[in-house]
A and B are shown apart, each in its own frame.
Chain A
Amino acid sequence: MTKPLEVKQEVPVVTRTTSNSYSLKESATVKWSLITISFLYISLFLILPLISIFVTAFEKGWETYVASIVHPDALAAIKLTITVALIVVPLNAIFGIVAAWLITKFSFKGKNLLITLIDLPFAVSPVIAGLIFILLFGAQGLFGEWLFEHDIKIVFALPGIILATLFVTFPFIARELIPLMQTQGVTEEEASISLGASGLKTFLYVTLPNIKWGLLYGLILCNARAIGEFGAVSVVSGHIRGLTNTMPLHIEILYNEYQFTAAFAVASIMSVLAIITIIIKNIVSWKAKDV
């Protein structure tokens, strides 16, 4: 064996941390006024409305609240929304990772076009997105006749709702990953491959762990939007009670029928889902710090 290096044996001393950098300490007044302003702002625009949802939902007592939620139409809406999210989020996760991988790790013709296309759903109004699917798959649409002949239902049915939600939410994960993967570059992947790892192992062991927090964040945003999407879904759903109404659509119907308590009761469920999402996200990022 080669004689070990002749540097003296080193012993771990300090661990470097990035938080609480000394040079970044601001004066106390500036800090506290900024904190106060942020909290006031958040209370006014986020906490207050949230509280009012729950207050209205419970206005007529606990029984009315429960009755509004266990109503078959409400349960159907909740089930449909969850089904859509469970299908859309994984699909967009795969698409987002593939697109971000393609854009950041390779150079090819048409790359800029792809980036623009990914952003398209952000630029197009959700209502128009919904209309596009009606124009394509509706009874008078491009493929309408063919679909009718083969007895395939897209518009005013689950597939249409999924398509519309997919369209609206597909930038979230890709958009989250692209800048992250861009700053990380490809050197770790190159190191992995030159150490003999296959492309798949490189992805699983090197790329994925490096992007997991960004990916998770994208998943959460995508999920939140998939649950909450109104415009595009409203156009393609056909508002069939108990069948094609998602939670936001159901809330709107109840609201239009002056059933405020019921509307806010379902809204409170959506709010709880949102709060749970945020809590999960925070737990995960605390865990991330400990690693």
Chain B
Amino acid sequence: MSIQVKNVSKSFGSFQALKDISVDIESGELIALLGPSGSGKTTLLRILAGLEGLDEGAIYFDGENITNVSPKERKVGFVFQHYALFRHMTVFENVAYGLKVRPRKTRPSKQEIAKKVNELLELVKLQNFQDRYPSQLSGGQRQRVALARALAVEPKVLLLDEPFGALDAKVRKELRRWLRQLHNEFHVTSIFVTHDQEEALDVADRIIVMNNGKIEQIGTPDEVYENPKSPFVYDFLGNVNIFRGRLQNGKLRQGQFEISAPNYLDSHDEAVGYVRPHDIQIEKEKVDNETVAAKITFIHIVGPTVQIELKREDNGEFLEAELTKEHYKNLEIQKGDIVYVRPKQLKVFIPEDFSI
């Protein structure tokens, strides 16, 4: 089912939680909704599910305006941020609930319900837990029950509010791969909220980045990561180094130090350049003005990559670089060395357009 969100705004009292949100989601897409806490992710999901009203705008499912359709009729599977399992029902009863409450005409028989529930419990690896109550389960197990419960009604849209929030890194990774697989299988249009940019980049077809109740950018993981539209998105999707300076003849200058910015030949503005740690090259000799001297203050070796913290010699600002272990070994550098830092890829933002 395709989803269209058209100019949706929502206020709680005087606080505007969503400001003129518009998104088009194609049928079968897996979308990650990414943004800092309080940016309105849950509010947007709740509006899609019909659990929250909206002040302005409209929602379309498959081209049909469903803004005023009740949540009961929307056929949306919702996995809540805090699971919201029925506490007085067993795992089995929780998963069976959506089928059990159907009107008699469309309700499957007891046997059919049991079969379906068992299939789902197998899918989420909880067959042996079907008689437990939610209070007797771990966070990850509850999460899987919540997922199975939402899938039982064969929803056309699956909304997951931080489905893997409470889990440890390894289980998270397994579950998100599994979600991807599940999604490939069932082609349910799915939106999942996450705080974790890596998670979003890893499994989503497209990412929606939200901030302060507004959409900052929508795009494929590659687009959003490589071509962030705003400093916010750039910052949110990974670590950054910031170089402030003035644009001149296609270069961002900072005293002696200059970085080439060929897209800004005609600009003469104050600007901020953003460079990812892995786009920073470390050299031992100064060969031109496109490098700046810095002292190595810290070296972390994290598995196959090496993170290096540096302090600029000219203005004392800190920088972060990321190298492969091999490259690091070839360089033969140590803490305390003075090296020359060369930003290889610069993304320039002109501050008047953006507040950082």
Q: Are A5 and B175 in contact (CB under 8 A)?
A: yes
Is A188 at the interface (CB under 8 A from chain B)?
Answer: yes
Smallest CB–CB gap between A16 and chain B, Å? Answer: 6
B residues contacting A by CB (< 8 A) are: 49-51, 70-78, 80, 82, 84-89, 97-98, 101-102, 119, 122-126, 128-129, 132, 135-136, 141, 144, 149-150, 152-153, 171, 174-175, 178, 181-182, 185-186
**A10–B181 CA distance with the chains assembled, in angstroms:** 21
Q: Are A195 and B101 in contact (CB under 8 A)?
A: yes
Q: Are A195 and B87 in contact (CB under 8 A)?
A: no
Q: Are B136 and A5 in contact (CB under 8 A)?
A: no
Residues of B within 8 A of A201 (CB): 101
Smallest CB–CB gap between B144 and chain A, Å? Answer: 8
Measured CB to CB, the nearest residue on chain B to A201 is B101
Of B73, B87, B88, B135, the most chain A CB neighbours within 10 A belong to B88
**A193–B77 CA distance with the chains assembled, in angstroms:** 10
Q: Are A4 and B122 in contact (CB under 8 A)?
A: yes
Q: Are A191 and B129 in contact (CB under 8 A)?
A: no
**A2–B181 CA distance with the chains assembled, in angstroms:** 7
A1-21 interface (Cβ within 8 A of B) = 1-7, 9-12, 15-16
Q: Are A191 and B80 in contact (CB under 8 A)?
A: yes
Q: Are B84 and A187 in contact (CB under 8 A)?
A: yes
Is A122 at the interface (CB under 8 A from chain B)?
Answer: no
Of A1, A2, A197, A201, the most chain B CB neighbours within 10 A belong to A2
Of B71, B72, B126, B129, the most chain A CB neighbours within 10 A belong to B72
21 contacts between A and B (CB under 8 A): A2-B123, A4-B125, A5-B124, A5-B125, A6-B178, A9-B128, A10-B126, A12-B128, A12-B129, A15-B136, A188-B84, A190-B71, A190-B78, A191-B78, A194-B72, A194-B78, A195-B152, A196-B73, A196-B101, A198-B72, A205-B101
Smallest CB–CB gap between A185 and chain B, Å? Answer: 9
Given contacts A2-B182, A4-B123, contact A191 B84 (CB under 8 A): yes
**A77–B182 CA distance with the chains assembled, in angstroms:** 69
A-side interface residues, number (CB < 8 Å): 30
Is A210 at the interface (CB under 8 A from chain B)?
Answer: yes
Q: Are A195 and B82 in contact (CB under 8 A)?
A: no
Smallest CB–CB gap between A97 and chain B, Å? Answer: 17
Residues of A within 8 A of B175 (CB): 5
Q: What sequence of 0s and 1s flags, for each residue 189-226 of chain A, a beta carbon within 8 Å of any chain B beta carbon?
A: 01111111110010001100110000000000000000
Given contacts A5-B174, A12-B128, A191-B80, contact A197 B135 (CB under 8 A): no
Q: Are B86 and A206 in contact (CB under 8 A)?
A: yes
Smallest CB–CB gap between A108 and chain B, Å? Answer: 14
Residues of B within 8 A of A3 (CB): 181
Measured CB to CB, the nearest residue on chain A to B50 is A194
A residues contacting B by CB (< 8 A) are: 1-7, 9-12, 15-16, 187-188, 190-198, 201, 205-206, 209-210, 291
Given contacts A2-B181, A6-B174, A7-B171, contact A198 B124 (CB under 8 A): no
Smallest CB–CB gap between A2 and chain B, Å? Answer: 4
Given contacts A2-B182, A5-B174, A10-B128, contact A196 B72 (CB under 8 A): yes
Q: Other than the known A194-B74, A195-B152, A205-B101, what 18 A-B pairs have Cβ atoms closer than 8 Å?
A: A1-B123, A2-B186, A5-B124, A10-B129, A16-B135, A187-B84, A188-B84, A190-B51, A191-B78, A192-B86, A192-B101, A193-B70, A194-B49, A194-B51, A194-B76, A196-B73, A196-B101, A196-B102
Residues of B within 8 A of A210 (CB): 87-88
**A1–B141 CA distance with the chains assembled, in angstroms:** 21
Residues of A within 8 A of B102 (CB): 196
**A195–B87 CA distance with the chains assembled, in angstroms:** 16
Measured CB to CB, the nearest residue on chain A to B123 is A4
**A7–B76 CA distance with the chains assembled, in angstroms:** 27
Measured CB to CB, the nearest residue on chain B to A185 is B84
**A142–B153 CA distance with the chains assembled, in angstroms:** 58
Q: Are A195 and B97 in contact (CB under 8 A)?
A: yes
**A196–B70 CA distance with the chains assembled, in angstroms:** 10
**A192–B97 CA distance with the chains assembled, in angstroms:** 8
